[in-house]
Structure 1
Amino acid sequence: MKTVLVDLSALDTSLRLRGIGRHVQLLASGLSRIVQSDDCGLRIIGLVHLSPFANDNALHDLQHIEFDPMPPRASLLDDQKTQWFRRLILQRAAKNARADLIHLPDPNAPPLRFTRSPLQLVTCHDLATVRSNRPWLRFTTSVHKRLMAHRYLSADHIISISSYTAEDLRTLFGLPSSRISTVYNGIDSNRWSSEKNEEDARICQKYGISNTPFALYVGHASWRKNQSGMLRALRYARELKPDLGLQLVWAGRLSVDEFSAIDREARNLGIRHALRLLNFVSDEELACLYRCAAAHLLVSRHEGFGLTVVEAMACGCPVITTRRTALAEVAGDAALHVEPDDHEHIGKALLRLIEDHDLRRDIVARGIERAIQFSVERQARETLAVYQRVLGIRP
């Protein structure tokens, strides 16, 4: 029986609270369910902790791992400092496990390769930094493109989380389609539900957002996340309908610099009183916020997938997103699509969802139906099929 080593060590760092960490946790949870219920013909084990010796305490059979969405243990070293450390640990872990294939759901620390190294499968989430056309990042982008080209060109196979990202791999790096498999991200349907309950009102009251409509954004702040577009759209919508009292609720862990930049821009626009920065919230509270929100905003300039779009849809929250990159692919016809650089368009879309009840009901119904397509079980089974294909095993 062949062995697959899945690198889950992102859950041992601060990445566990960001998109990569959520992806890794959900993938591992889905694979664990399959391993427990089916005879997949593979031994799948996970590197869970960053042990300097990659001993038996660091390697776990997926059948015996219990996954916590927010593990209490975290590496004392930050992610940048652990990149080379992770490479060495992965190489040692693969040797100890006698792995035939290493899967790297987090592509940022591929193991060092030696003569008898196992096959490498790398997940590509997006190529946003390579695609950046900002003049002041031209040199950084050039260097980063070379590093990423080496990372993906040296892999034996690549999982892309969207068709858009797969096309980027082909266009930017010349990779053939035969070396790329598209596997969409999935969500745990038990965690995201459209059924309203008493807890929803309590959570909104806790954060002081129970009396006025609000748009919800989930994530960190950056140029590609288009924070300026969201803030300007909020100001525009409030100018059109001043009596509505529309707010923007921002859920996501922010650095000191990110918080300061958002706070400063909101004050300059005169809307700081209409902005609620909640920092990190649990999935339980986030589901409540989705159900109560007038809309979920994800109007990024670049996304490789956009998992919060699917979470919001599953919770019955109408989505406003862009026609660009993978977001149009994921949302389909179950969202309102806008141009990310047109804040007036975004603001008008917000008001439409609040005022046009028939439109809102239609978008919500479409979203709930579409979210069903993105299950963690489907993601795990398609990933398992890639393992078998790369290893030459017939399913």
Structure 2
Amino acid sequence: MILDAVFRLGYKSPLRLIKSIVPVSIKQPIKDQFVAFNRSKPDTLKRCVIGVGLLNSDSSENQFFSELDQTLSSNGDIALIALEPNDTAHNLQRPNKFVGIPFATESQPRDDSQGHSSSDALEHIPLPPWLHRLNEKANSDSDASLDYAAKFIDNFMRLSHPLAVVAHNNLNALQALCVHAAQYYGIPIYEVASTPPLMSVKACLNTSSIETPLTPEHSTALYSVNSLTTDILQNVDTIQAQNQRMHHPIAHDRVEHRIKKIRRLPSPVKSSFDDNRTLVILNISRLFYANKPHSGISRYTDEIATRLLATRSFNVILGVEDLDKLDQSSLRNDVKKFDVDDLESALFYAENTHKPYIYHSPFEPHHLDTNLRYGIKVITIHDILHLTMPRVYIRPPEITQQIALRASNADCNRVFVSHFSKSAFENHTGVCERLKSRVTYLGVSDAFQPLASAMGKTHQRKDDPELLIIPYQADPRKGFKRMIESSFHWLSQFEGDAEILIFGPKSERNTAMKSVKNTIPRREIKAYTYIDSPSDEELAQLYTCATAQLYLSEGEGFGLPPLEAMAMGCPSIMLNNTALNEVYNGWELMLNNELDVSSTITTILNNITTDHSYREKLRIEAIALSQRYSWERCFAETKDVYHSLLS
């Protein structure tokens, strides 16, 4: 893992610094002493075994190291890394894959190019938990030199993800720290006993844990180099499962790119952070990459982020995936209000606080498959209709498949926006864990609140045309063509002045209007107007003036647009299906999902435009229904989820 970042730099010295590979400190990127390897090694090497205490004056044991290295490399593309103290005797022939362990901060050289010395490289990183346990067990105080080495070893183990550790049974104190770290993270430990020179290709090995590495008393079994290699290769899956506790967000195939990104981007730590508060990392990538400001998912993400920042209950980091690749010039004004950090850098920082924290993704499956040691994962599932409606979606989007797959993991906690979505997920995946699933309904934004002066009267429309509003999303289940057909059916029979208003993202204007032109006669196109990405205030004003909203979606996880229209007194005509039946239970303008609803819709619209009392009745009922839901309630329930998980 870390190897493909350091192989290309060339072997120079065990004291050569490679900066910012280990976690971000409070004030500056951490510098650490990972030794560069031979330039000839491939950049794609992904697996390694760490050898500890295998290099000494006994040529037979050095030969064992060489033969094991060669066998692992040829049979499994596995590198054998020598992890030894920096002061390993210079008269020994070091392999080119050698990592030197620093053991005293005062011995580290300066790197004046960065304006600070490497002696403070690990100063702000907490001691690894296994070192505390070791000190308690030994009933001894912590030693500064060993503390520094322990921090280095802990980070190297977590970043290199070794399949196993092969350790000599006679270790000094510094080498013993490597074995203790491996034991804590559940890495298989093969203990090597001293062997006669004639048995250079064999070693006494076992896989039992080393509780006292300096004076081991374990039963041993005789293995050859080939037998050891076979054992490691046969147990790769088991070993990787045992290593899940130490997986880290940065440990991906493209490590070099990610390490460069960590170096370049600033630390996500804010001066307002309170050590007594729990950290919450919220993934708001949806707002920056998806141009759907009026969708329920975007609304939810925006509202949770805004309220999290306003609360004093948590330290908050808003993360965006691959922030360094984002085109800042193309951002919408409504997302520029957020101070964001790179999501991976934020997780990288949080893992190295060694404290529990919440990682909440309101939609995207980013890092849900990453094994976060301290992170408590939460994902909000809006719907998986792409997977449960094969008639509409012949090829489901990969992101929905990833959401269902990763949210099914045992370490993932799920928040659903409706009981319908919860049931659909459980039926599809077979995962039904009551304690890991909660339902929190969405709400209505503050912009969609009618003025008190307008609560008791209908908007005056003397010479204004009747206005029918249709939201547009380029999704086949949203029923856009059906809404155009129904609106034209009413328009062709309506004797008064009427307009059809379509709103949606600016980037989808051409697609939407092309669909209109292909559905209705060309002479009627002038009655249809497309509004590019209206603000919440503009949309609220349109709903205030509108006769009705048309929303003929075939399936929803919640269905937020009708709620926003109804909050402004605009009745919504919708189909009675999926979560719409749950959220809008009791609303009288819900139609059966029949093939032809145009006639029914025409009748409803004619009644609204001709019967003032009926229109007023629908307006009052619509506002009353919308008041069942609020973002305050949604956020309060979300905080309850956080607190329950932390407790």
User: 1:164, CA displacement in angstroms?
Assistant: 1.2
Once the two structures are TM-superposed, the CA of residue 102 in structure 1 deviates from its matched residue by 0.7
- Aligned CA distance change for structure 1 residues 90 and 48 (closer, same or farther; 3 Å): closer
TM-score (normalizing by structure 1): 0.78
> Would the alpha carbon gap of residues 240 and 128 (structure 1) be closer, same or farther in structure 2, given more than 3 Å must change?
same
- Alignment TM-score, normalising by the size of structure 2: 0.49
User: Which of 1 and 2 has higher RCO (CA within 8 Å, sep 6+)?
Assistant: 1
Q: Distance in 2 between matches of 1:10 and 1:173?
A: 24
* Contact in 2 for aligned 1:158/1:181 (Cα 8 Å): yes
Which residue, out of 298, 317, 326, partners 1:46?
Answer: 317
For 1:31 and 1:315, locate their aligned partners in 2 and report how far apart those are by CA, in whole Å.
Answer: 26
Contact persistence 1:26–1:187 (CA under 8 A)? no
Is 1:386 aligned with 2:638? Answer: no
Q: Could you tell me how far 1:115 is from its partner in structure 2?
A: 5.8
2:276 is the counterpart of 1:12: no
Q: Distance in 1 between matches of 2:384 and 2:524?
A: 33
1:22 equivalent in alignment to 2:299: yes
Whether the aligned pair in 1 keeps the contact of 2:444 and 2:567 (CA below 8 Å) is no
Alignment of 1:56-67 (within 5 A): none
SS of equivalent residue, structure 1 residue 303: coil
- CA deviation map 1:201-239 (0-9, x unaligned): xxx99xxx9731011123423311111111111121123
> Which amino acid in 1 is paired with 2:318?
L
Counterpart for residue 57 of structure 1: none
Count of residues paired in the alignment: 351
Aligned pair partner of 1:153 in 408, 411, 424 = 408
Unaligned segments of structure 2, at least 5 residues: 1-276, 325-331, 455-459
Instruction: Name the CA shift for 1:94/1:105 in 2 (closer, same or farther; >3 Å).
Output: farther
The Cα offsets for residues 113-142 of structure 1, whole Å up to 9 and x where unpaired, read as 13625121100111121122237x43x239
Question: 2:513–2:530: 8 Å Cα contact kept in structure 1?
Answer: no
User: Are residue 167 (structure 1) and residue 420 (structure 2) matched?
Assistant: no
Distance 1:192 1:302, change over 3 A: same
Whole-Å separation in 2 of the counterparts to 1:93 and 1:69: 28
Q: Which amino acid aligns with 2:512?
A: F
Match of 2:503 among 242, 251, 257: 251
What is the Cα deviation at residue 266 of structure 1?
Answer: 4.0
Where do residues 1-395 of structure 1 align in structure 2 (5 Å cutoff)? 1-15=277-291, 17-19=293-295, 20-33=297-310, 35-36=311-312, 40=313, 43-49=314-320, 70-72=334-336, 88-89=344-345, 91-95=347-351, 98-114=355-371, 116=373, 118-134=375-391, 137-138=393-394, 140-141=395-396, 146-154=401-409, 156-178=412-434, 179-189=436-446, 191-194=448-451, 211-241=464-494, 243-253=495-505, 254-255=507-508, 258-268=511-521, 271-340=524-593, 341=595, 342-391=597-646, 393=647
**Deviation sequence 1:260-311 (CA, Å, 0-9, x none):** 5323224447531221111211111111100000001211111111212221
Shift of 1:70: 0.8
RMSD, aligned CA: 3.3
115 and 105 in structure 1: CA distance in 2 versus 1, 3 angstrom threshold? closer
Closer/same/farther in 2, CA of residues 216 and 28 from structure 1, 3 Å limit:
same
In structure 2, the CA distance between the partners of 1:48 and 1:146, relative to structure 1 (3 Å rule), is closer
Aligned residue type for 1:371: S
Deviation per residue, 1:25-76 (Å, 9 max, x gap): 111223344x24xxx5xx24132455768xxxxxxxxxxxxxx9713489xx
Q: Which amino acid aligns with 1:5?
A: I
Is this contact kept in 1: 2:551–2:575, CA < 8 A?
Answer: yes
Partners of 1:149 and 1:71 lie apart in 2 by 27
* SS at structure 2 position matched to 1:126: coil
Q: Distance in 2 between matches of 1:257 and 1:381?
A: 40
The sequence identity of aligned pairs, in percent, is: 21
2:398, 2:301 → 1: CA distance?
27
Q: Is the 8 A contact 1:161 1:182 kept in 2?
A: yes
Note if contact 2:283-2:320 (Cα within 8 Å) is conserved in structure 1.
no
Q: Distance in 2 between matches of 1:230 and 1:17?
A: 21
1:256 CA drift (Å):
5.5
Structure 1 residue ranges without an equivalent (≥5): 54-67, 75-84, 198-203
TM-superposed deviation, 1:317: 1.1
After TM superposition, give the deviation of residue 339 of structure 1 in Å.
3.4
- Alpha-carbon distance change, 358 to 388 in structure 1, aligned in 2, over 3 angstroms: same
Relative to 1, partners in 2 of residues 1:30 and 1:247: Cα closer, same or farther, differing over 3 Å?
same
Change (3 A) 1:360 1:146: same
8 Å CA contact 1:353–1:359 kept in 2: the answer is yes
Question: Are the counterparts in 2 of residues 185 and 307 from structure 1 also a CA contact under 8 Å?
Answer: yes
C-alpha contact (below 8 Å) 1:235/1:269 kept by paired residues? no
- Which of the two has higher C-alpha Rg? 2
Give the secondary structure class of the aligned counterpart of 1:23.
helix
For residues 323 and 533 of structure 2, what CA distance do their matches in structure 1 show?
30
Give, in angstroms, the shift of residue 108 of structure 1. Answer: 4.0
**Do the aligned residues in 2 keep the contact of 1:52 with 1:89 (CA within 8 Å)?**
no
CA contact (8 A) 1:127 1:165 kept: yes
More helix as a share of residues: 1
Shift of the 244–175 alpha-carbon distance from structure 1 to 2, 3 Å rule, reads: farther
SS in 2 for 1:244: coil
Q: Report the Cα distance in structure 1 between the residues aligned to 2:563 and 2:333, rounded to whole angstroms.
A: 18
Distance 1:356 1:49, change over 3 A: same
The offset of 1:188, in angstroms, is 2.8
